[in-house]
Amino acid sequence: MRVAMYYRNNDVRIEEMPIPKIGNGELLVKVMASGICGSDVMEWYRIKKAPRVLGHEIAGEIVETGEGVKNYKIGDRVFVSHHVPCNTCRYCLSGYHTACETLHRTNYDPGGFAEYLRVPEINVRSGIYILPENMTYEEGTFIEPLACILRGQRVANLKAGQSVLVIGSGISGLLHINLAKDTGAERIIATDVNEYRLNAALKFGADSIINAKENVPERVRKLNDGRLADCVIVCTGAMPAIEQALQSVDKGGTILFFAVPEPGINISVPINDFWRNEIKMVTSYGAAPSDLALAMEFISARRVNVKDMITHRLGMSEAQLGFKLVAEAKDSIKVIIEPWR
């Protein structure tokens, strides 16, 4: 089978690998669509394990079932979660599934940018979701990223009637904007340095946009009746963006670090001001099974407009172009690889 083997962002090669052999309790899935995530082009992170077949936002069709598989059959259209928690450790039982050691060790074989993948037994037990009839494979690739967004906004306790500042209007930022709109945010302000993405932010629910090169806190006050934002969502690891977030949150507000800088970079927090004004800083990583199930419901019900976020549909042979588009972060939003295109 063909795979897109990642060596670095500008070196993604189409190579041949054997179709994985499945064992008892396992599944073989034909990958029909696989989204390129922003984390796939975090070169400082990915290059450590290269060469590797990446891809974790997949939807496909079951083409083979291992002995003992009872709940799924050949022909089922599915989304497959790459990381699954044990659901029994103290972290899972406390609701922190993404801190589970099992979740960080699990994955499918070899990765989503392949024509087929093997789903291990533990993933079959708690990481397979049957796609609703009204959901396309392309829409299914958004289940994992939207689940991460849902988890993040829940952690931040985002509520109807709040003002929201989304810093960074890439795919994560746009999903945050669209979901905050559905939640009933009173005012949504988006920032970016890219005009294409700022226009996309307006399309997907932002009430106002700010070029990140401007004085963001000052512009937020002007756009938000003299107040800073109740909830600031950071969707980029760039240090200027983080500094803007620290300066743009209102008293009693919350900053959600949905994205963070690379390891080794620390941030300086005006802790005395935050203490006096009861400002909270929270982080969110990944998604749990309940988040994935809820994301699937939201997409199926068209509560979040994921379909119109797709800007590029590429075949396997164009994987290098896909990585280039996502890494450059210019005139693209969601890039999807369709191995059989």
Give pLDDT, residue 48: 87
Residue 151 belongs to a domain: no
CA–CA gap between residue 236 and residue 6 (Å, rounded): 23
Question: Is the residue at 164 inside a domain?
Answer: yes
Domain end, chosen from 236, 252, 283, is at: 283
Could you give the CA distance from residue 53 to residue 323 in angstroms, rounded to a whole number? 13
Quick one: pLDDT at residue 44? 83
Are 254 and 292 found together in one domain? no
Q: What are phi and psi of 142, to 5 degrees?
A: -90, -5
Same domain, 299 and 279: no
Domain for residue 132, yes or no? yes
Q: Is residue 259 part of a domain?
A: yes
72-128 confidence digits (pLDDT tens):
999 999 999 999 999 999 999 999 999 999 999 999 999 999 999 999 999 999 999
Tell me: pLDDT of 45 over 90. no
Same domain, 42 and 137: yes
Percentage of the chain with pLDDT > 70? Answer: 100
Into how many domains does the chain fold? 2
**Do 211 and 301 belong together in one domain?**
no
Give me the pLDDT at residue 287, please.
Answer: 97
**Are 175 and 224 members of one domain?**
yes
Is residue 136, in this structure, part of any structural domain at all? Answer: yes
Q: Is the pLDDT of residue 270 over 90?
A: yes
Q: Is residue 238 predicted with pLDDT exceeding 90?
A: yes
8 A C-beta contact, residue 210 and residue 219:
yes
The predicted model scores a pTM of 0.96
- Pair 6, 71 in one domain: yes
Contact 181, 158 (CB under 8 A): no
Looking at residue 114, the DSSP 8-state letter turns out to be: B
Could you tell me if 45 and 126 lie in one domain? yes
* 201-227 pLDDT per residue, tens: 999 999 999 999 999 999 999 999 999
- Residue 65 DSSP code: E
pLDDT band at 297 (very low <50, low <70, confident <90, very high): very high
Contact present, 149 and 176 (Cβ < 8 Å)? yes
Same domain, 315 and 222: no
Rounded to the nearest angstrom, the gap between the alpha carbon of residue 63 and the centroid of all alpha carbons in its chain is 27
Q: Is pLDDT above 90 for 47? A: no
Is position 161 within any domain?
A: yes
Question: How confident is the model over 185-189, as a mean pLDDT?
Answer: 98
Residue 16 has pLDDT above 90, yes or no: yes
Integer Cα distance of 90 and 137 in angstroms: 35
Residue 15 and residue 33: Cα distance in Å, rounded? 18
Co-location of 239 and 278 in the same domain: yes
d(CA 132, CA 153): 24
Picking from 237, 252, 283, the residue at the C-terminal end of a domain is 283
Same domain, 121 and 56: yes
Amino acid present at 281: M
Q: Is residue 90 a part of any domain in this protein? A: yes
Q: In which band, very low, low, confident or very high, does the pLDDT at 260 lie, cut at 50, 70 and 90?
A: very high
Does the residue 292 lie in any domain? yes
DSSP category for residue 250:
E
Residue 331 lies in domain: 2-144+287-338
Helix (H, G, I), strand (E, B) or coil at 61: strand
CATH code: domain of residue 240: 3.40.50.720
Judgement on whether residues 13 and 138 belong to the same structural domain of the protein: yes
Confidence category of residue 314, pLDDT binned at 50, 70, 90:
very high
pLDDT value at position 226?
98
Say whether 287 sits in a helix, a strand or coil: coil
Question: Which among 238, 262, 283 is the end of a domain?
Answer: 283
Same domain, 112 and 234: no
pLDDT tens-digit series, residues 58-75:
999 999 999 999 999 999
Q: CATH number of the domain that 101 lies in? A: 3.90.180.10
Q: What is the mean pLDDT of residues 276-298?
A: 97
Place of tokens 């009839």: 133
